[in-house]
Structure 1
Amino acid sequence: MNRLLSFFQLHKHDTTMKQELGAGTVAFLTSVYIVAINSSILADAGMPVAGAAFATILTCFFGCLLMGVWSNTPIVLIPGMGINAMFAYTFVHGVGMSWQEALAVVFVAGVLFAVISFTRFATILDRGIPADLKHGITAGIGCFLMFIGLQKGGIVEHSRETMVQLANLSEPLPLATLLTLVVALFLFVRGISGHFLWAILCGIGIGLVLNVPNVKDTITFSTEGIMAVFGQLSFSAIATVPFWTSVFAMTMVLTFENIGLISGYTKQLGRPDKGKRALQANAISALASGVFGSSPTVSTAETAAGLAAGGKTGVSAITTGMLFLFTFLLFPLLVHIPDSAIAPILVIVGALMMKEVREISFADISDWLPAMFIVIGIPFTYSIADGIAFGFVAYTLLKTIVQQHRQVSTTMYVVGVLFFLHLLLSNLG
């Protein structure tokens, strides 16, 4: 115990083992919903639900453990909302990759993210990319999540005349989604601990009452079932343009999102010096996600709950990771989770990410218009990569048109050209 206290420097950080264990438990309760959500989204990419659930749990456990040991911070690593949508709906459904090839994209993007985090590239990218564009990426992914949630929950449907339209809300799926959304909003607004988890459980009950159809695979406890996606990444598409444009887009999202989140958390802890090691832990965890069979991890927003509960060291993050192992007990429950229980969480999380729009400066059209291209481009193209590309290319062009090209960093020009090539080559492909 003394060695443990010494390694994590509990006394130095004015905390106790009890306080850290409690904070880790709170962080777990606020983030455990990701097992059901991520499994559902990965299943949309064609993965077996049992394998996707096992990969999600293993990824959360490894990420939190690595973060706690390597950086000694209470930052929680779980598969990122938005990036999992990028995996399923952009890479698999949009680009046309198999989920095995998309896992290879995760792995290679993780390798590049690791290179960035262990070198000066992290600082260069962070300083070279305008803040408005980074805010636009977060808001655009949030808008995309809301749209996916509305589709998944049956609230909106395809229309031949107007592309999308409001569905018949008296049908079981949309009605159950709306009722679950009301419950989820109530729990969230009231600040109930584990609000998303309780909302999903209530959504299961509402779905059973309204007889919402469920098309998920049958969950089994066989080794073959839970190991169905572990180590299944395929590099068969590595020589293609879509593979590398996907890798580039995911690397950019991972870098910008995590630099911002980690910087905020380490400053809140009063330990900005830990930011580098925390980013490195995040990068290695993202890399490992491709091997485990999941979309990559991010320094999740649910970390804030652990910090508010008094988490100050890596013991809190390790506690969260260990508790994720107990979610294996939830396997039999996963098959009973209808889309109506998942969709409201996507809508709320997406709405929270949309708040980043208020951080965009609207003083100069050459700054805010490219950011808004990203915000609307991501959901309208149904591609996070294409939406970001439109915004980055528009920024460099507009700055040149208004003769403010000197405000554009060399880094931004390089990234802008790469995204232009992404759009050009993807269209030609």
Structure 2
Amino acid sequence: MLEKWFHLTERSSDAPTEVLAGVTTFLTMLYIVVVNPAILGAAGMNFDGVFMATVISSVLATLIMGIFANYPIVIAPGMGMNAYFAYSVVLGGGHSWQAALGAVFISGICFVLLSLTRFRYMLIDAIPASLKHAITAGIGLFISFIGLQNAKIIVASPATLVTLGRLSEPMPMIAVLGLAVSLILMIYRVKGFLFFGILATAILAYCQGLLVLPENWLVLPSGLASTAWQMDVSGVWNQGLYAVVFTFLLVTLFDTTGTMLGVAEQAGLLNEGKFPRVRGALMADALGTAAGAALGTSPTSAYIESAAGVAAGGRTGLSAVTTAVLLLSTLFFSPVAKMLAGVPAVTAPAIILVGFFMMDGLKNIEWKDTEEAFPAFLILVTMPLTYSIATGIGVGFIAYPLLKLVRGCGREVSPMLYFFALLFFIQIGFFSH
């Protein structure tokens, strides 16, 4: 049965190898079931509800990916988009989390429709590679900044806006020590180093009296009613969250596509540079995003941590199915997740390191080419300093075609990018809060 469905022999694999690869991926990305509810909880959402939404949407999308697309790729709420949801749209923009979920749902439906057409390629191709790399790196800086703030390593200053916190205090001291432990585990290539780094930091927090052990370690899943079907779609129109919808859609689309191509290439599954069954793979993420919004979480995305499973031998969807089953089992451990997320210093090292990983694409930007480099630079600095991914994208999208026009290279820019630049100019210039 497994051979017939997943084509194990055809891909030079076997069931034990695929199961081991699935376990490896699970350990590598397990941190998200702790970190995602912690981040969205800052927006006023119920932790237990977001925890269940995170697990269920991840399991659903990953099962679709594994069973129907037959790829060893895991899907879960994306880091960066969750921070944008909580800190930019809700806390920074003053919008309700219900309206933010409505924006996620609409972007998910748009993603589903795009996955059925070739327009998805037009949208991806319209964005220059330098801007794509800068957006990913800018999101990395943004979430690292949030991690540093949550741990009080960086604090507010009336004179300089931000400054270094008192590292001798328990919260920042534990975060710094936890970051050091996580880095050591990463250097020695320990599988699941982010999750084990969280556990090590939690032990430090417990020794300092900051962490309170739960009364029950295992409980029946509950709390989903507080977030499920709470999305306010009409609020998207009433509150003018058009740029938010576009940002969710754009980042999820090219981030997912890039991750899938990278993992598939590593697994040797590309056919002459092309991605077979790409429609099913993208549909898995699109449905995950829409379902996640209905349940109560931010957009899902393909996880680069899937590469760890591929490195362990994963070549088929059986690896993804194994990860999904293990993720489902975490539903009974919500008190543990809540305990770990209850102290910001515990999750901060993982958030900071994920931001660091997102810097990799900067090496691909032609920094000596001003028309390519300066818009990328604007995206990098604007995202964390304005606390808005959408603003960072908008500034870059406006600057890029303008510089190309001044240089006399306007024809090199896609008409679609000019259209996006105009929309962002109107949004930032006249409707920005």
TM-score for the superposition, normalised by structure 2:
0.94
Q: Helix, strand or coil for the counterpart of 2:313?
A: coil
Match of 1:381 in 2: 386
Q: Helix, strand or coil for the counterpart of 2:297?
A: coil
Give yes or no for contact 2:88–2:387 (8 Å, CA) kept in 1: yes
Greater Cα offset, 193-202 or 28-37: 193-202
Greater Cα offset, 64-73 or 417-426: 417-426
Give yes or no for contact 1:50–1:220 (8 Å, CA) kept in 2: no
Q: What code does the residue aligned with 1:260 have?
A: G
Give yes or no for contact 1:176–1:212 (8 Å, CA) kept in 2: no
Greater Cα offset, 164-173 or 242-251: 242-251
Distance in 2, Cα, partners of 1:259 & 1:161 = 43
Q: Helix, strand or coil for the counterpart of 2:227?
A: coil
Greater Cα offset, 141-150 or 201-210: 201-210
Match of 1:171 in 2: 169
Q: Helix, strand or coil for the counterpart of 2:117?
A: coil
Q: Show CA shifts across 1:196-216 (max 9, x none).
A: 1111111111111123378x9
The Cα of 1:355 is off from its aligned counterpart by 2.1
The Cα of 1:114 is off from its aligned counterpart by 1.5
Q: Helix, strand or coil for the counterpart of 2:236?
A: coil
Give yes or no for contact 2:29–2:305 (8 Å, CA) kept in 1: yes
The Cα of 1:172 is off from its aligned counterpart by 0.8
Distance in 2, Cα, partners of 1:60 & 1:305 = 17
Distance in 2, Cα, partners of 1:226 & 1:204 = 26
Distance in 2, Cα, partners of 1:348 & 1:99 = 26
Q: Helix, strand or coil for the counterpart of 1:380?
A: helix
Match among 53, 60, 63 for residue 61 of structure 2? 63
Distance in 2, Cα, partners of 1:277 & 1:329 = 30
- Does residue 270 (structure 1) correspond to residue 269 (structure 2)? The answer is yes
Give yes or no for contact 2:52–2:223 (8 Å, CA) kept in 1: no
Distance in 2, Cα, partners of 1:38 & 1:258 = 18
Distance in 2, Cα, partners of 1:182 & 1:213 = 19
Match of 1:206 in 2: 204
Distance in 2, Cα, partners of 1:104 & 1:41 = 18
Give yes or no for contact 2:147–2:348 (8 Å, CA) kept in 1: yes
Match of 1:75 in 2: 73
Greater Cα offset, 378-387 or 402-411: 402-411
Q: Show CA shifts across 1:69-126 (max 9, x none).
A: 2211011101111111111111111221111111111110111112222111111122
Give yes or no for contact 2:100–2:236 (8 Å, CA) kept in 1: no
Match of 2:400 in 1: 395
Q: Show CA shifts across 1:154-186 (max 9, x none).
A: 101000000001111111100111111111111
Structure 1 stretches of 4+ with a deviation exceeding 6 A read none
Match of 1:142 in 2: 140
TM-score for the superposition, normalised by structure 1:
0.95
Q: Show CA shifts across 1:202-245 (max 9, x none).
A: 1111111123378x9x9995776343212211124132353212
Match among 243, 254, 260 for residue 258 of structure 2? 260
Match of 1:113 in 2: 111
Give yes or no for contact 2:39–2:83 (8 Å, CA) kept in 1: yes
Match of 2:90 in 1: 92
Match of 1:281 in 2: 284
Match among 415, 418, 425 for residue 420 of structure 2? 415
Distance in 2, Cα, partners of 1:257 & 1:187 = 26
Match of 1:49 in 2: 47
Match of 2:355 in 1: 350
Match of 1:295 in 2: 298
Give yes or no for contact 1:59–1:289 (8 Å, CA) kept in 2: yes
Match of 1:6 in 2: 4
Give yes or no for contact 2:218–2:332 (8 Å, CA) kept in 1: no
Distance in 2, Cα, partners of 1:185 & 1:110 = 35
Greater Cα offset, 60-69 or 228-237: 228-237
Q: Helix, strand or coil for the counterpart of 1:12?
A: coil
Q: Helix, strand or coil for the counterpart of 1:242?
A: coil
Q: Helix, strand or coil for the counterpart of 2:76?
A: strand
Q: Helix, strand or coil for the counterpart of 1:78?
A: strand
Q: What code does the residue aligned with 2:424 have?
A: F
The Cα of 1:293 is off from its aligned counterpart by 0.8
Give yes or no for contact 2:78–2:298 (8 Å, CA) kept in 1: yes
Distance in 2, Cα, partners of 1:220 & 1:323 = 15
Which runs of 5 or more structure 1 residues have no equivalent in the other structure?
Answer: none
Q: RMSD over aligned Cα, in angstroms?
A: 1.8
Match among 319, 322, 330 for residue 322 of structure 2? 319
Distance in 1, Cα, partners of 2:70 & 2:398 = 39
Q: What code does the residue aligned with 1:62 have?
A: L
- Does residue 180 (structure 1) correspond to residue 178 (structure 2)? The answer is yes
Q: Helix, strand or coil for the counterpart of 2:111?
A: helix
Distance in 1, Cα, partners of 2:221 & 2:185 = 37
Match among 98, 101, 104 for residue 99 of structure 2? 101
Give yes or no for contact 2:42–2:86 (8 Å, CA) kept in 1: yes
Give yes or no for contact 1:241–1:425 (8 Å, CA) kept in 2: no
Give yes or no for contact 1:366–1:399 (8 Å, CA) kept in 2: yes
Q: Show CA shifts across 1:299-325 (max 9, x none).
A: 111010011011111111111011001
Q: Helix, strand or coil for the counterpart of 1:335?
A: helix
Q: What code does the residue aligned with 1:353 have?
A: M
Relative to structure 1, is the Cα distance of residues 219 and 86 closer, same or farther in structure 2, using a 3 angstrom cutoff? farther
Q: Helix, strand or coil for the counterpart of 1:158?
A: strand
- Does residue 334 (structure 1) correspond to residue 337 (structure 2)? The answer is yes
Match of 1:243 in 2: 241
Match of 2:374 in 1: 369
Which runs of 5 or more structure 2 residues have no equivalent in the other structure?
Answer: none
The Cα of 1:333 is off from its aligned counterpart by 1.3
Give yes or no for contact 1:241–1:426 (8 Å, CA) kept in 2: no
